[in-house]
């Protein structure tokens, strides 16, 4: 390779790491694309694109491991959807009967509910497509979770929301700690000669686990207070009142505006009221931010690479949405009668745009992270 | 810098008994003051009063006045003192708000609203000062104990507090990591002029760094403040080197191994004359002229290796945690009546080995046999009768809300006659009431309770994970007596510990683990004197003679 200018993505470090907002824009773009189609080929392509980018660009941080959990959740959703289609029947009219289950006779008042009965190929196919779409949405969210640090995203919130953001981060660390506690205490039950497996074992450690979690929360709250969490600047009472009025007024305006837009009759006043509400709420947030003295350490910068990543997601969404408008049949393959889905060329090409982050986003450095030894947790 | 004026602290549930009473203390700027005393006398309460967490956060009533840099904690909440006081509690994990090292260092400054450029500069300085530069992007969950403690100290240092308050900063650390943390404190005091107030049980680690010592001799008693040598001369808690100095009647009392060595020439001669000193180190050339067995070793006599079959055996054992091989190629045996210490860095695989012996973890390759069976295949009920483990945090084993209920449950679990556990507890440590809540016990009492629970099933193999963490010297001495007695009755005892003094006092054999492998395995005197980081203070003072503890020396001189 020639020395000098190279277009390959640099190794990620703190100051060039991608803005978490860019990852979320990209992932939500893919999710929006997925919500517009039930074509299994296109959905598989979306899952592949998200999976490839995650494989290429995720770090070894704890949150990056959540991707696997989201994939499993997606598969579970497909399974549950199919199960319901089999057990409760499906409203889709079908002629290809695969199997007829014994039907549970239900009283007259439960009309419309069916348990058991005919299982048709059409019904199953519809459920499969529907489940796949939901699973793809979940996997896209999982990709964003794995790629963008949740706490860094919260750092980008406006100052007035920061303290709420910290509370959310702390709440998020609560769950993994709880899991570790449950494991440790179940292992400890074995030391007392009690069964360490099974539901009963789990239930009996419940109280000590909650006690431990509560103690930890109190200790953390004390530590945060001692480190200056919640210090506020003096603001004149007039500003405080203005903040409250603007925020409340803004929220009411936004509600009214949204109602106006959605209701059949009020289309005329809907948009202006909504806009005024948004402006008032933003002003309220900005004024509220003056009360906090916080500053931000090395906030993430939204650079060229962030634009590219966000744009690739948005482009994928746009192409699929336009495709759905132009050729609905290709994106919603017919299930009655069932036909083999074909891969529509232009939407597929659009989805492939979503691979751009795997090229432009900075490459995480492989670290030989050592897990620390923690008590008895296996 | 810190002033306590006639301070009393009373908690609501203490029935009017004050935790701290009539405390008068002035810590001038730039001083490193050590707060010493037995456990349960209110050291942590005193420390928390400096940062204002007592009484603002913990409740209770504080009378008198505490001022820090001229600010009264009565009128300033902890967050308003955050720019002058930095506090690190006993458990650094409870202290972290963010998830990576660099963010954690910046957190305090962000709260104070320092400008971005200042924050950037201070984070870089602090990373260098504490040797954390290589870890800056690491998630905190992946750090070792010593690294976490340094990050915790760094995170309160970045706002440049004028006072640093530390509660037991080295108790949970291995000797090398403790050195790391203490050298950082030393630099802070010398280079930045930070005022440090710290409490620590392991006096042998910290006493030499202290400018003055404040001693809380008992609950509700007034403070004794003075130079370390003055206070140590009358303190109920003291490190072994001071014990040796008191025994030999040295004045001034030495606080460091170096001072003691300079004073010890005479003592070495006296001990040399007695010709009892050296414990045999068969095979080592240096000790060939020493008598092979000493009278002082009588009590430490390890059981005869050949005649008794081993209680537990591991053969080429490897255990994985996730994808990491936590221990590998471990082949060793544990015999009845033997006391073995497992030593080594945090994360060297000590806890993993114990968990495998008790059957919580299963071997990946190789075998482990305890009492003729593979422990991970036994049902918990059967395993209980073969092997018992006192875990690192004894609270994990406690689930009832009174000591009495806990004992009854233990009898039921072990199918022992009722009253067995209670009788054991009374024998180990008299004076614990049946209706006490286990959480209200002191660390030492809680450890004894768990020990009694584990012993109810009379397992021949007893495992202990870091039993002396948070114990004061008195509780430690009681534990040593109890364990020695158990070993005499034929229990094999294996304990993972960082406490070299405990290993020297109690064990027959030391196994040193590094990176999951056994790097040394042999009789205690031989192993601990062979390396400076594992040698007890007395051994360092009296080298090349191989005395390990003050009590051995006392017996020899008697």
Tens of pLDDT, residues B514-528: 989 999 999 998 888
Q: Which of A200, A371, A185, A211 is nearest to B360 (CA)?
A: A185
Contact assessment for residue A53 and residue A147, using Cβ atoms and an 8 Å cutoff: yes
Instruction: State yes or no: cis peptide before A337, omega within 30 of 0.
Output: yes
How far apart CA A311 and CA A316 sit, in angstroms, is 8
Distance CA A357, CA B486 (A): 64
Closest Cα partner for B464 from B474, B478, B479?
A: B479
B306 CB neighbour count, 10 Å cutoff: 7
Say which residue the tokens 């010890």 belong to: B264
Q: Does residue B489 have a pLDDT over 80?
A: yes
In this predicted model, which residue has the larger pLDDT, B437 or A203? B437
CB atoms within 10 A of CB B97: 21
Per DSSP, helices labelled H in B249-373 are 257-263, 265-274, 350-358
Beta strands in B335-397 (DSSP E): 339-343, 365-370, 387-390
Q: Does B412 touch chain A (CB under 8 A)?
A: no
**Among A289-298, B242-251, B343-352, whose mean pLDDT is lowest?**
A289-298
User: Taking CB atoms and an 8 Å cutoff, what residues of chain B touch A224?
Assistant: 97
* Both structure tokens of A114: 């069916």
Assigned token pair, B45: 């309460």
Mean pLDDT of all residues in A294-316: 90
Nearest one of A230, A291, A220 to B82, comparing CA atoms: A230
How far apart CA B127 and CA B278 sit, in angstroms, is 46
Residues listed for chain B: 558
pLDDT greater than 60 at residue B312: yes
* 8 A C-beta contact, residue A344 and residue A42: yes
Option in B53, B109, B112 nearest A222 (CB): B53
% residues pLDDT > 70 (chain B):
93
Q: Report long-range pairs for B406-411 (Cβ below 8 Å, ≥24 apart).
A: B406/B438, B406/B449, B406/B453, B407/B434, B407/B452, B407/B453, B407/B456, B409/A192, B410/A192, B410/B452, B410/B453, B410/B456, B411/B456
Residue B305 has pLDDT above 80, yes or no: no
Which of B137, B165, B446 to mutate to test binding with chain A, by most A CBs within 10 Å of its CB? B137
Question: Which ipTM was obtained for this model?
Answer: 0.79
B16 phi-psi bin (left φ>0, alpha ψ -120 to 50, beta other): left
* CA atoms of B6 and B20, how far apart (whole Å): 10
Q: What is the 3-state secondary structure (H, E, C) of chain A?
A: CCCCCCCCCCECCHHHCCCHHHHHHHHHHHHHHHHCCCCHHHHHHHHHHHHHHHHHHCCCCHHHHHHHHHHHHHHHHHHHHHHHHHHCCCCCCCCCEEEEEEEECCCHHHCCCCEEEEEEHHHHHHHHHHHHHHHHHHHHHHHHHHHCCHHHHHHCCCHHHHHHHHHHHHHHHHHHHHHHHHHHHHHHHHHCCCCCCHHHHHHHCHHHHHHHHHHHHHHHHHHHHHCCCCCECCCCHHHHHHHHHHHHHHHHHHHHHHHHHHCCCCHHHHHHHHHHHHHHHHHHHHHHHCCECCCCCCCCCCCHHHHHHHHHHHHHHHHHHHHHHHCHHHHCCCCCCCCCCCCCHHHHHHHHHHHCHHHHCCECCCCCCCCCCCCCCC
Q: At what angle do helices A66-87 and A121-147 cross, to 10 degrees?
A: 160
Distance CA A189, CA A192 (A): 5
Residue A113 pLDDT: 76
Averaged pLDDT of chain B: 86
Residue pLDDT, tens place only, A147-171? 887 777 777 777 777 777 777 777 7
Containing B285, the helix (H) or strand (E) segment is none
**Lowest mean per-residue pLDDT among A235-244, A257-266, A357-366, B285-294:** B285-294
Has residue B291 got a pLDDT over 70?
A: no
**More reliable by pLDDT, A86 or A154:** A86
The structure tokens listed for A47 are 């899952």
Top pLDDT among A176 and A222 is at: A222
Phi, psi (degrees; rounded to nearest 5) at A10 = -75, 165
Which of B87, B113, B355 faces A294 most closely, judged by CB atoms?
Answer: B113
The token pair at B83 is 């720019």
Q: Among A329, A285, A316, A322, which residue's Cα sits nearest to residue A48?
A: A316
Residue B278 reports pLDDT greater than 80: no
Give the per-residue pLDDT at B290.
Answer: 38
CATH class of this structure's domain B2-237: alpha beta
| A234 touches B at CB < 8 Å | no
**Could you tell me if B457 lies within 8 Å of chain A, comparing CB atoms?**
yes
Q: Establish how many alpha carbons lie within 13 A of residue A173's alpha carbon, considering only the half-sphere containing its beta carbon.
A: 21
In chain B, residues with a C-beta closer than 8 Å to the C-beta of A65 are none
- Mean pLDDT over B458-481 rounds to 87
* B100: DSSP letter: B
* Dihedral angle sign, alpha carbons of residues A95, A101, A102, A106: negative
Residue A327 pLDDT class (50, 70, 90 cuts): confident
Nearest in space to A178 (alpha carbons), one of A151, A145, A205, A150: A205
Q: E strands of B159-234, at which residues?
A: 163-167, 195-199, 212-215, 224-226
CB contact under 8 A, B139 and A61: yes
| B97/A296 touch (CB, cutoff 8 Å), yes or no | no
What's the rounded Cα separation, in Å, for the pair B199 and B213?
10
Asked if pLDDT for residue A74 goes beyond 70, the answer is yes
Q: Is B478 on the interface with A (CB under 8 A)?
A: no
Mean pLDDT computed over B328-352: 90
Lowest mean pLDDT among A244-253, B108-117, B232-241, B283-292: B283-292
The Cα B439–Cα B453 span in angstroms is 16
Burial class (CB in 10 A: 0-12, 13-18, 19+), A116: middle
- CATH assignment of B312-515? 3.40.50.300
Which DSSP letter does residue B293 get?
S
Q: In what order do the strands lie in the sheet with B509-514?
A: B387-390, B461-465, B492-496, B339-343, B509-514, B517-523
For residue B456 the two structure tokens come to 């109810």
With pLDDT > 90 as the criterion, what percentage of chain B qualifies?
36
Q: Is A193 on the interface with B (CB under 8 A)?
A: yes
β-sheet with B20-27: strand ranges across: B20-27, B2-10, B61-68, B71-72
Nearest to A223 among B83, B89, B113 (CB): B89
At residue A73, the pLDDT reads: 93
Interface residue A186 vs chain B (CB under 8 A): no
Residue count (chain A): 378
How many Å lie between the alpha carbon of A176 and the closest alpha carbon of chain B? 11
Q: Which of A188, A223, A233 to mutate to test the interface with B (most CBs of B within 10 A)?
A: A223
For position B298, what pLDDT does the model report?
A: 43
Retrieve residue A49's tokens: 């694109």
Q: Which of A186-200, B403-417, B453-467 has the lowest mean pLDDT?
A: A186-200
B101 pLDDT more than 70:
yes
Confidence of residue A223 (pLDDT cuts 50, 70, 90): confident
Distance from CA of A283 to the nearest CA of B (A): 22
Helix (H, G, I), strand (E, B) or coil at B6: strand
Res B12: pLDDT: 79
Residue A376 has pLDDT above 50, yes or no: no
A85: Cβ contacts below 8 Å, ≥ 6 apart: A119, A123, A124, A126, A127
Q: What is the pLDDT of residue B302?
A: 57
- Decide if pLDDT at B316 tops 50: yes
**C-beta separation of A131 from A90 below 8 A:** no
Residue B528: predicted pLDDT: 87
Check CB contact of B513 with chain A, cutoff 8 Å: no
Q: Which of A188, A222, A375 sits opposite B57 (nearest CB)?
A: A222
Band (B293; pLDDT cuts 50, 70, 90): very low
A157 close to A54: Cβ distance less than 8 angstroms: no
Question: Measured between CB atoms, which of B106, B145, B321 is closest to A378?
Answer: B321
**Distance in Å, alpha carbon of B410 to nearest chain A alpha carbon:** 7
Tokens 């730039």 correspond to what residue? B30
Q: Three-state DSSP class for B287?
A: helix
CA dihedral over A84, A88, A91, A92, signed as positive or negative: positive
CB A24 within 8 A of CB A148: yes
The residues, ordered by sequence, that sit 6+ positions from B554 with a Cβ below 8 Å of its Cβ are: B247
Confidence class for position A262, pLDDT limits 50, 70, 90? confident
- What are the residue ranges of CATH 3.40.50.300 in chain B? 2-237, 312-515
Task: Specify the range with the lowest mean pLDDT, choosing from A101-110, B186-195, B346-355.
Answer: A101-110
Angstrom distance (rounded) from CA A259 to CA A238: 31
A31's tokens = 């999710």
pLDDT tens profile B148-201: 888 998 999 899 899 999 998 887 778 888 888 888 888 888 888 899 999 998
Smallest Cα–Cα separation from B53: which of B9, B3, B22, B111?
A: B9
Average pLDDT of the residues in A319-323: 91
CA distances from residue A264 to A133, A257, A260 in whole angstroms, order as listed: 30, 13, 8
* Facing A151 at nearest CB: one of B98, B322, B384: B98
């Amino acid at each position: 390779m020639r020395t000098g200018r190279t277009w390959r993505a640099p190794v990620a470090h703190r100051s060039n790491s991608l803005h978490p907002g860019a990852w979320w824009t990209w992932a939500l773009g893919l999710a929006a694309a997925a919500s517009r189609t039930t074509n299994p080929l296109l959905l598989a392509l979306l899952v592949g694109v998200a999976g490839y980018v995650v494989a290429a660009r995720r770090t070894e941080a704890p949150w990056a491991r959540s991707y696997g959990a989201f994939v499993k959740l997606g598969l579970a959703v497909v399974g549950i959807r199919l199960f319901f289609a089999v057990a409760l029947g499906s409203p889709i009219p079908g002629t290809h009967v695969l199997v007829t289950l014994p039907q549970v006779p239900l009283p007259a008042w439960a009309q419309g509910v069916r348990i058991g009965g005919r299982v048709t190929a059409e019904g199953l196919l519809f459920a499969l497509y529907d489940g796949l779409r939901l699973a793809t949405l979940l996997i896209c969210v999982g990709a964003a979770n794995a790629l963008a640090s949740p706490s860094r995203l919260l750092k980008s919130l406006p100052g007035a929301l920061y303290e709420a953001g910290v509370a959310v981060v702390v709440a998020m660390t609560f769950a993994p700690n709880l899991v570790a506690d449950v494991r440790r205490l179940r292992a400890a039950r074995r030391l007392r000669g009690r069964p360490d497996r099974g539901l009963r074992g789990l239930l009996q450690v419940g109280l000590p686990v909650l006690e431990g979690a509560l103690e930890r929360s109190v200790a953390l709250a004390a530590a945060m207070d001692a480190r200056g969490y919640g210090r506020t600047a003096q603001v004149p009472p007039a500003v405080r009142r203005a903040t409250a009025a603007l925020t409340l007024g803004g929220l009411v305006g936004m509600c009214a505006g949204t109602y106006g837009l959605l209701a059949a009759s009020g289309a005329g006043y809907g948009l202006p009221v909504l806009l005024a509400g948004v402006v008032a709420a933003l002003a309220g947030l900005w004024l509220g931010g003056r009360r906090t003295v916080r500053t931000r350490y090395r906030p993430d910068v939204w650079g060229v690479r962030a634009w590219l990543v966000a744009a690739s997601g948005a482009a994928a969404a746009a192409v699929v949405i336009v495709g759905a408008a132009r050729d609905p049949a290709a994106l919603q393959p017919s299930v009655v009668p069932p036909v083999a889905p074909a891969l529509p060329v232009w939407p597929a090409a659009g989805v492939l745009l979503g691979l751009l982050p795997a090229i432009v986003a900075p490459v995480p450095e492989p670290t030989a992270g050592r897990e620390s030894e923690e008590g008895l947790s296996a | 810098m810190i002033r306590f004026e006639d301070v009393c602290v009373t908690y609501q549930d203490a029935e009017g008994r004050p935790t701290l009473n009539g405390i008068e203390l002035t810590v001038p700027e730039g001083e490193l003051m050590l707060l010493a005393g037995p456990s349960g006398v209110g050291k942590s309460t005193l420390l928390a009063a400096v940062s204002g967490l007592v009484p603002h956060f913990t409740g209770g009533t504080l009378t008198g006045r505490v001022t820090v840099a001229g600010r009264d904690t009565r009128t300033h909440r902890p967050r308003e003192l955050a720019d002058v006081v930095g506090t690190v509690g006993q458990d650094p994990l409870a202290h972290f708000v963010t998830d990576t090292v660099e963010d954690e260092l910046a957190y305090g400054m962000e709260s104070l609203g320092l400008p971005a450029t200042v924050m950037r500069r201070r984070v870089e300085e602090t990373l260098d000062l504490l040797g954390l530069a290589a870890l800056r992007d690491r998630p905190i969950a992946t750090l070792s104990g010593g690294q976490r403690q340094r990050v915790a100290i760094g995170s309160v240092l970045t706002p440049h507090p004028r006072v640093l308050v530390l509660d037991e900063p080295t108790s949970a650390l291995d000797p090398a990591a403790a050195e790391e943390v203490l050298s950082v404190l030393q630099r802070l005091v010398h280079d930045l002029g930070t005022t440090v107030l710290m409490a620590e049980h392991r006096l042998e680690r910290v006493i030499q760094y202290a400018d003055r010592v404040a001693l809380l001799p008992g609950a509700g008693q007034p403070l004794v403040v003075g130079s370390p040598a003055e206070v140590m001369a009358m303190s109920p808690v003291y490190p072994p080197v001071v014990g040796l100095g008191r025994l030999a009647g040295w004045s001034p009392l030495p606080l460091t191994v170096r001072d003691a060595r300079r004073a010890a020439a005479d003592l070495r001669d006296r001990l040399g004359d007695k010709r009892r000193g050296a414990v045999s180190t068969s095979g080592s050339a240096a000790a060939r002229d020493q008598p092979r067995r000493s009278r002082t070793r009588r009590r430490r006599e390890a059981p005869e290796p050949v005649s008794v079959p081993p209680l537990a055996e591991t053969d080429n054992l490897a255990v994985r945690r996730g994808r990491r091989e936590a221990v590998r190629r471990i082949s060793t045996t544990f015999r009845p009546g033997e006391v073995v210490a497992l030593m080594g860095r945090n994360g060297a695989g000590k806890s993993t080995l114990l968990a495998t012996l008790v059957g919580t973890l299963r071997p990946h390759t190789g075998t482990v046999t305890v009492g003729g069976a593979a422990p991970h295949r036994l049902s918990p009920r059967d395993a209980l009768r073969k092997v018992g483990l006192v875990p690192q945090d004894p609270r994990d084993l406690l689930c009832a809300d009174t000591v009495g209920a806990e004992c009854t449950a233990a009898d039921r679990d072990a199918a022992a006659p009722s009253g067995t556990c209670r009788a054991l507890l009374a024998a180990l440590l008299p004076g614990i009431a049946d209706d006490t809540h286990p959480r209200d016990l002191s660390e030492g009492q809680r450890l004894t309770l768990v020990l009694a629970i584990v012993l109810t099933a009379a397992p021949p193999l007893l495992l202990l994970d870091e039993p002396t963490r948070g114990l004061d010297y008195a509780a430690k001495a009681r534990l040593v007596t109890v364990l020695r007695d158990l070993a005499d009755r034929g229990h094999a005892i294996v304990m993972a510990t960082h406490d070299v003094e405990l290993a020297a006092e109690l064990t027959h054999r030391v196994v040193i683990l590094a990176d999951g492998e056994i790097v040394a395995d042999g009789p205690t005197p031989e192993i601990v004197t062979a390396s400076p980081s594992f040698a007890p203070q007395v051994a360092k003072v009296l080298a090349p003679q191989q005395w390990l503890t003050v009590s051995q020396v006392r017996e020899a001189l008697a």
